[in-house]
Amino acid sequence: MQKHPPLQVYFTTSFITSVLYSLIFTVNLLYYIFVAKLNPLQLVLVGTALEASIFIFEVPTGVLADSVSRRLSVIIGIFLIGAAFLVNGIWPVFWVIMAAQVLWGLGYTFTSGASQAWISDEIGEENAGSAYIRAARWDQWGGIAGTVLSVFLALVSIRVPILIGGALFLVLGIYLVLYMPEDGYSPQPLDTRTRWQQFFGTFRQGVSVLKVRPALIGILAAGFIFGFYSEGYDRLWQAHILERFTLPAINFLEFRFDGIEMIATFWNAAFKLVLLGLAAFATKVAESQLHHPEMDKLARGLLLLSLVLFVGLIGFALAGNLLAALACALVIGVSREVIYPVYTTWVNHRLPANVRATVLSFSSQMDAVGQTLGGPIVGVVAKQVSITAGLLTSSAMLAPVLPILFKQRHERELDSTGD
């Protein structure tokens, strides 16, 4: 059977995976709340299981992609993701959902990096950049389409978007088996030990760099804190809305027995679409200012964005009405979307070339560790006290980033002699 052109496969896969993720994620947390009846701690632990799985499996799955086949790695990942979501949707039991999260994390690590490396091999590194940008546009359109479709499928049952999304991931896997080419790939020697040595070597190199460049501690501490606070908020914000406020009624949905689920799905999708639009606009404005950045402006901008995020988190936790809570949630979502490119640019701008890759890798690992450690803390507080207390704890976890960034904004470029 004739394979399809690489770019066609890449863009098709980018669009479909974005549709399916949005199809599932629009209702997934609501499914955990309404159907699986997870408590606040369980909601957070589900996310922790996912993050831990990704952290653990990233290295061995990378070995397969580099040593055996990028195509095979992507295909295995897509099938595992589909199976994970089917398990997730069929059995609304906490421990089964936890296992599904681990399976999903495993599948994700098979695809993470492998699809980008595959298209780079197939079309040439010089053409890969434009392919990534075009794929990102397909991702955005896919996210909108999947969100809208999820609402209509949820009219049948809140579980239907999850089950259909999982099944269609399997169909996508079959498509890739049949039509995904791999002509530009050159296998590397299979050596898991070498990859693990590189992985732990990153930690050792990062620590050694910090000894001679103490100012880098601020960069890595900020990355850790951005991960530390986020997992609790991500898992609890919808539960907080549903617990504290009554969503506006929608007459044509009230005929359903599980009308509250449908109303929640509808308003969640509407909120997501507004957030996507605002975030896309804000990110575009921010990125237009990052072509020739100045370090002091980057640090001040990041400090201001983090302060807005901090205030938004507190406002969301304490909001006395639904409109105020949703406004704060939009502020949180947009500020987070803008923080990412500004932080990445700031980190790159702060680092000498000879330590850039090491510190960026170390920072990414610190973010993952932060999410894994921070989530359970917020979950315990939310379960033992209240979800509001958990969200306030999450905002308190973010607070230390403010003095760190305040100090960093006054510092000069790092040079070879350190501070």
What are the DSSP calls for 39-72, one per residue?
Answer: -HHHHHHHHHHHHHHHHHHHHHHHHHHHHT-HHH
Each residue of 309-345: pLDDT tens digit? 999 999 999 999 999 999 999 999 999 988 877 887 7
Select from 181, 209, 241 the last residue of a domain.
181
**By the 8 A CB rule, do 263 and 250 touch?**
yes
| pLDDT over 90, % of the chain | 42
3-state SS assignment for residue 415: strand
Residue 120 has pLDDT above 90, yes or no: no
**By the 8 A CB rule, do 52 and 66 touch?**
no
Which distant-in-sequence residues (6+ apart) come within 8 Å of 294 by Cβ? Answer: none
Q: Residue 31's pLDDT is what?
A: 93
pLDDT band at 162 (very low <50, low <70, confident <90, very high): very high
Tokens of 17: 């995976």
- Residue among 310, 204, 235, 175 at smallest CA distance from 50: 235
Helix (H) or strand (E) holding 168: helix 160-179
Residue 418, beta-bridge partner list: 415
Q: Residue 416's pLDDT is what?
A: 42
pLDDT band at 170 (very low <50, low <70, confident <90, very high): very high
Identify whether 186 is part of a domain. no
Which distant-in-sequence residues (6+ apart) come within 8 Å of 304 by Cβ? Answer: none
Q: How many domains does the chain have?
A: 2
Each residue of 49-87: pLDDT tens digit? 998 888 888 777 777 777 778 899 899 999 999 999 999
Select from 181, 210, 236 the last residue of a domain.
181
Task: Report the chain's mean pLDDT, rounded to a whole number.
Answer: 83
Q: Residue 156's pLDDT is what?
A: 85
Query: pTM for this one?
Result: 0.80
Cα 253 to chain centroid, rounded: 31
Identify whether 145 is part of a domain. yes
Tokens of 127: 């053409």
Whether residues 160 and 223 share a domain: the answer is no
Identify whether 86 is part of a domain. yes
**Of the spans 110-114, 155-159, 206-210, 283-287, which averages the highest pLDDT?**
155-159
Identify whether 416 is part of a domain. yes
Select from 149, 181, 213 the last residue of a domain.
181
Which distant-in-sequence residues (6+ apart) come within 8 Å of 111 by Cβ? Answer: 73, 74, 77, 78, 81
Each residue of 20-59: pLDDT tens digit? 999 999 999 999 999 999 999 999 999 899 988 888 887 7
Rounded Cα distance, 107 and 291, in Å = 35
Residue 415, beta-bridge partner list: 418
Whether residues 17 and 126 share a domain: the answer is yes
CATH no. for residue 117? 1.20.1250.20
How many residues in total does the chain contain? Answer: 419
Rounded Cα distance, 124 and 361, in Å = 24
Whether residues 127 and 233 share a domain: the answer is no
Q: Residue 68's pLDDT is what?
A: 78
Q: Residue 214's pLDDT is what?
A: 65
CA distances from 178 to 75, 236, 339 (A): 10, 41, 40
Characterise 292 by phi-psi region: left (phi > 0), alpha (psi -120 to 50), beta (else): beta
Range of the domain at 332: 198-419
Average of per-residue pLDDT across 386-412: 87
Residue 4 has pLDDT above 70, yes or no: yes
**Of the spans 128-137, 241-250, 308-317, which averages the highest pLDDT?**
308-317
Rounded Cα distance, 206 and 227, in Å = 18
The angle that helices 356-384 and 192-212 make with each other, rounded to 10 degrees, is: 90
Identify whether 190 is part of a domain. no
Whether residues 97 and 218 share a domain: the answer is no
Q: Residue 283's pLDDT is what?
A: 75
Rounded Cα distance, 59 and 156, in Å = 40
Whether residues 37 and 82 share a domain: the answer is yes
pLDDT band at 414 (very low <50, low <70, confident <90, very high): very low
Whether residues 396 and 311 share a domain: the answer is yes
Q: How many other C-beta atoms can be found within 10 angstroms of the C-beta atom of residue 121?
A: 18
Q: Residue 413's pLDDT is what?
A: 46
Whether residues 284 and 165 share a domain: the answer is no
Rounded Cα distance, 136 and 117, in Å = 16
Which contacts of 127-134 are long-range, i.e. CB under 8 A and separated by 24 or more positions?
Answer: 131/7, 131/10, 134/11
Whether residues 204 and 133 share a domain: the answer is no
Whether residues 154 and 258 share a domain: the answer is no
**By the 8 A CB rule, do 165 and 20 touch?**
yes
Tokens of 198: 């590189």
Tokens of 186: 């050159």
Rounded Cα distance, 166 and 183, in Å = 29
Read off the amino acid at residue 359: V
Whether residues 28 and 162 share a domain: the answer is yes
Q: Residue 284's pLDDT is what?
A: 75
Whether residues 285 and 137 share a domain: the answer is no
